[in-house]
Structure 1
Amino acid sequence: MTTPTPLRLKSSAGRGVLFATILASGMAFLDGTIVNVALPHIGADLNSSVAGLQWTVNGYLLTLAAFVLLGGSLGDRVGRRKIFILGIVWFTVASLLCAISPTIGMLIGARFLQGAGAALLTPGSLAIIQASFQADERGKTIGLWSGFSGISTALGPFVGGFLIDALSWRWAFLINLPLGVVAVLAALRWVPESRAPKEATRFDVSGAALAALALAGITYALIESPNRGWGSPLVIGALGIGVASAVGFVLVERHKGDAAMTPPALFRSRVFSILNIYTVVVYAALSGQSFFVAVTLQNVAGYDAFQTGLATLPATVLMLLLSARSGDLATRIGPRWQLAVGPIVAAVGVLLLRRIGPHANYLTDVLPGVLLFGLGLVTLVAPLTTAVLGAVEMRHSGIASGVNNAAARAGALVAIAALPLLVGLTGAAYEVPAQLTASFREAMLWCAGLMVAGSGLAVVFCGRLPKIAWHRAVTTMTTASHSVHPVRETTSEPTS
C-alpha cells in the first residue's frame, strides 16, 4: 500500500477534495434547516398530527445522534472514502424516499434512513480533510469547510421556502438528488482513501445500539403519551426499554474502558461533564424554539414558507459574521462568562418572540427577538466548542468533540419530543391558530427557562479552565472543533 503526498489547497486535487466534502456535508446541514420550514405543508398534505411532525424531525435526529460516532469509527476502520461515498448514496436515496412518501408513516421511516446516511457522511468530511492535506494547511482548509457549510445552513430556509411555495414540500428533499450525484462523482474523482491504524480504531456496535434504543424508547414515550396515555402498555414498554438501555449503555461503556464509543475517562473531568449537560440544555432550547417558530409564523401569523425562511435568516447571518470574533474574545478572557451571558441574551430574544400572533408585524414582533436570539448564540457557541476541547487531554480532543456533537443532537431530540407534551399541543391543534398561539407562547417560556438554566450551570460549575489546558484548546480548536470522532494518525491509499 502506497502513501501519496499530502495535498495542497491550491492544487486541483486539493480543491476537489474540499469541494466534495463541503457539498456532501452541506446537504445534511441544508436538510436540517429546510425541513422545519416545510412542516406545516407536510402536515396539511399528509393529514399529519403533531406527533407525525415531531417524528418527521426526530426520526432524522435519532439515528444521526445514535450512530454518528459509530459512523466515524467505521470510516477509520474500513476506509473513510468508502464510508463517505456510502453515506452520500444512502442519504440521497433516503431523500428520494422522503420526497415520494405518500403517507406520514413512510416519510418518518425514510427520515430514519436519512439520519443514518448523515451519520456515515458527516464525520467523514472532517476526517478526510485531516487525512488528506498538509499539516500546515489543515486549519485553513477546515476554516473554509466551516464557512461554506455555514452558508449552506443559512441558505436552507431561504431556498427551501422558495421551492416549497413555488413547487411542493417534496422539493425540500428532491434538492438533495442532484447535489448527491455531484458529490459522489467529486468524491470518486478526487478524494483519496485513508484509514486509521487498526490499533487506534474503535468499533463499538453494542454501545451504538444501546444508545439508539435509549433515545428511541424515551422519545416514543414522550411523543405518543398524549394520544395513547401514560398507562398504555406501548408507552410503558417503550419508556422501560429506553431507561434500561440508557443504564445498559453506561455499564457497557464503563466495562469497555478506552475501547468504548464514549470512553469513561472523558467524564472524569467535571468540567467536561457539566459542559455536555450545558450543551443538552442549550441546544434543547434552540431546537424547541426553531420547531415552534417555523410552524407558528405560518399557521398563526400567515407567513408563507419563503417569508418564514427570510424571517429567521438574520440570526444565521449574525452567526456567520460574528462567530470568529466571539472565539477571539473567548481566547482573551476565557469561556466562562460568554457561556453565562450568551444564554441570557438568547433567552431575552425568545421571550420577545412571544409577541408573534395573528398578523404579526415583522419589524416589531419578530425581528428584535430573532436578532437577540442570534446574538446569544454567537456569544456562546464558539466558546462552548473550545471549552469542551480544553476540558480533556489532547489525545481525546476528537472524541470529546464528537460526544459534544451527539449531546447537542440528543438535546434537540428530547426537546422536540417533550415540548408539545408540556404545552398541550396534540392531534391537529397546530392547525388551529388560537390553540397554537397559546402553546407557542408557553413553549417559549420553557425555552427561555432552559437558556437561563444553562447560564446558571456556566456560572456555578464552569470556572476558568487551567491556563495550560485553555491555551491548548485554543490551538487545537481549528483542527477538531467540528470533528465528530477522534482524529488519529492515518494511512492512505491512492484514489482508484
Structure 2
Amino acid sequence: SLAIIQASFTADDRPRAVGAWSGLAGVAGAAGPFAGGWLVEAAGWRWVFLLNVPLAAVVVLVAVRHVPESADPDARGRFDVLGAALAALALAGTTYAFTEAPAAGASPAVAGAAVAGGAAAVAFVLAERARGAGRPRTGRRPGREPPRPMLPLDVFASRQFTAVNAVTFIMYGGMGVLFFLFVLNLQVVGGFSPIAAGTALLPVTVLMLLLSARAGALAQKIGPRLPMTGGLLVAAAGMLLVSRVGADASYVRDVLPAVVVFGLGLSAAVAPLTATVLATAQVRHAGVASGVNNAVARAAGLLAVAAIPPLAGLAGDAYENPAEFSRGFGIAMVACAALLGAGALLTFLTVDDDALRTPSGERVEPECRTQCGVGAPQLQPEPETVAAGPRGDPPPDARP
C-alpha cells in the first residue's frame, strides 16, 4: 500500500497521503481488539481468525477496480526462495530462543534455536549481497535468469533510510509490547471484560485518524525531525502513565488520560516517520522501501513481545496472578518508555530537517500514469484527449 502511495502521488503530496494511510491503519489496529473481544465473548476465539476472509475479499475487489498499476521497469528474475527461507528461519529461531529462554534456560533446544537464527541471519545478508552484486552461481543452467534479491541491500546506501528504519524498529518494538500487554493487564489486573479492554484503546484510533494527515503536512513544512522526536517523547510519557494502571483502575481517571497522551505522541510520529522512509529511498525501490519498513516494524513487534515480557517476569503462571502480572507489566512499560526515549534521541541526531522537502522549482509528477476510470480520472491524458498543436502536430506527450 505504501508503494502505491509512492507511485501515485507527487513528492509534495505524499506526506499528507501517508498521514491518511497512518490514520486508517490506526483505525484497523484499534478496531481489531474490539472486534476480537466481541467475537471471543459471543462466538468463541476460533472465530477471530475468520475475520480475515471477508476483509480480504473486499481488499481484492477494491484493488482490482480502483488501484493504479505501477511496476519497476528493471525488475526481472525469479522469486528469491532462498532469501525468504533464511529470513523466516532467522526470525523463527530468534523468537523461539527469546520466548523459551526465561523458563528453559540455556537448554539444548534454546541454544540450538538461537544459533540457527543467528546463522540464518548472517547467511541471509551474504546471500542477498551476492545476488544484488550479480555474482554467478556455479551449477546454474545456461540461459536461466537468476533470482533477484528479496532485499536489495543498496536501499540502505541512504543514511537517512537506514536511520529511519532503526527508529522504526525501536518505536514499533515498544508499541507492540504495549498493545499486547495493556489489554491483558486490564483484564487480569483491572477486572475489565474482553470487550471493555478491547475498546480501551479506541482514543488512539480517533487521534490517529484526526491528526495523522496534519502531522504529515506539518513534517512537510518544518521537516520530520522535530515532529518525530516530540511525538516519541510524548508517547514515552504516555507509556509511563500506562504503567500506573493497576487493580481497581477507573477508565476515566486512570486509563483514558494515559491512552490519550500515548495516542497524541503516536499521531505526531508515525506519519512523518513513514513519509521519510519513502522519501529517502529511490522511487524505483518504492515497493522494497515500504516492504522493508513494514517488515522491520513487524519483526520489531515480534521480537520485543517475545523478549521483553519474559525479562520483566511475565512468564508461566504470571498471566493468572494479578499481583505478579501487575508488577511485571509496570517493569515492561518502563522498559518500553526507555526504548521510545532512545528512539527520540536517535531521531534528533540522525534525521535531517529537509528529508521531505523538494528543491524549489522542481517539477514533480506521479510515477504511475494508469488509473481505473471508475475510481478517478486518468492520471495521464491519452493522446486523443489532448488538443493537437497549431499545425496539426501531435501533442508533446503523445506516445505511439
Per-residue CA deviations over 1:415-438 (Å, capped at 9, x if unaligned) read 100012211211121110011000
How big is the shift at 1:371? 0.5
Secondary structure class of the residue paired with 1:200: coil
Aligned to 1:428, the other structure's residue is in SS state helix
Shift of 1:155: 2.6
SS in 2 for 1:355: coil
- Greater alpha carbon shift after TM alignment, 203-212 vs 279-288: 203-212
Distance, in Å, in 1 between the alignment partners of 2:342 and 2:9 is 42
Change (3 A) 1:299 1:468: closer
Structure 1 residues 327 and 376 mapped into 2: Cα distance closer, same or farther (>3 Å)? same
Higher relative contact order (CA 8 A, sep 6+): 2
Residue 126 of structure 1 contacts residue 142 of structure 1 at CA under 8 Å; is this kept in 2?
A: no
| 1:207 aligned partner | 83
Greater share of helix: 1
Change (3 A) 1:466 1:424: closer
Are 1:372 and 2:372 counterparts? no
User: Relative to structure 1, is the Cα distance of residues 376 and 471 closer, same or farther in structure 2, using a 3 angstrom cutoff?
Assistant: farther
* Deviation of the 1:463 alpha carbon: 2.6
Q: 1:244 aligns with which of 86, 102, 119?
A: 119
> What is the 5 A alignment of 1:324-363?
324-363=213-252
Distance 1:393 1:374 in 2: 31
Does structure 1 residue 385 correspond to structure 2 residue 274? yes
Gaps of 5+ in 1: 1-122, 480-496
Where does 1:366-445 land on structure 2 (aligned, <5 Å)?
A: 366-445=255-334
Cα distance in 2 between the residues matched to 1:476 and 1:314: 37
**Amino acid aligned to 2:336:** C
> Following the alignment from structure 2 to structure 1, what is the Cα–Cα distance between the partners of residues 257 and 223?
28
Q: Does 1:305 align with 2:181?
A: no
3-state secondary structure, aligned to 2:316: coil
Equivalent-residue separation in structure 2 for 1:163 and 1:245 (angstroms) = 38
Q: Tell me the TM-score normalised to structure 1 length.
A: 0.63
| 1:298–1:308 Cα contact (<8 Å) kept | yes
Aligned partner of 1:255 in structure 2 is 130
Measure the CA separation in 1 of the matches of 2:99 and 2:254.
30
Paired with 1:174 and 1:351, the residues of 2 have a C-alpha distance of 35
Structure-2 separation of matches of 1:142 and 1:455: 20
1:188 Cα deviation (Å)?
A: 11
Aligned to 2:34: 158
| Residues matched between the structures, number | 349
**Deviation for aligned residue 1:400:** 1.2
Note the alpha carbon deviations across 1:335-375, whole angstroms, 9 max, x for none: 01111111100000000011211110111211111001101
5+ residue gaps, structure 2: 134-147, 369-400
Q: Residues 470 and 257 from structure 1, CA distance in 2 versus in 1: closer, same or farther, beyond 3 angstroms?
A: farther
CA distance in 2, matches of 1:188, 1:344: 37
In structure 1, C-alpha distance between the alignment counterparts of 2:9 and 2:227, rounded to whole Å: 33
Q: Are the equivalent residues in 2 in contact too, given 1:385–1:477 (CA < 8 A)? A: no
Q: 1:175 pairs with 43, 51, 66, which one?
A: 51
Distance 1:172 1:442 in 2: 30
Within 1, Cα distance between the matches of 2:366 and 2:298?
Answer: 20
User: CA–CA distance in 1 between the matches of 2:325 and 2:359?
Assistant: 45
- Partners of 1:471 and 1:209 lie apart in 2 by 45
- TM-superposed CA distance for 1:170, in Å, is 2.4
From 230, 235, 253, the equivalent of 2:110 is 235
Considering only aligned residues, what root-mean-square deviation do their CA atoms show, in Å? 3.4
Percent identity, aligned pairs only, is: 46
Counterparts of 1:442-457 in structure 2, within 5 Å, are 442-457=331-346
Write the distance in 2 (CA, Å) between the matches of 1:465 and 1:327. Answer: 14
Structure 1 residue identity aligned to 2:284: R
More deviation, 368-377/392-401 = 392-401
Aligned letter for 1:357? G
Q: CA deviation at 1:393?
A: 2.5
Larger radius of gyration, structure 1 or 2?
A: 2
Deviation, 1:183, is 6.0
Partner Cα separation in structure 1 for residue 259 and residue 222 of structure 2: 27
Moved more, 464-473 or 296-305: 464-473
Deviation at residue 176 of structure 1 after TM alignment = 3.6
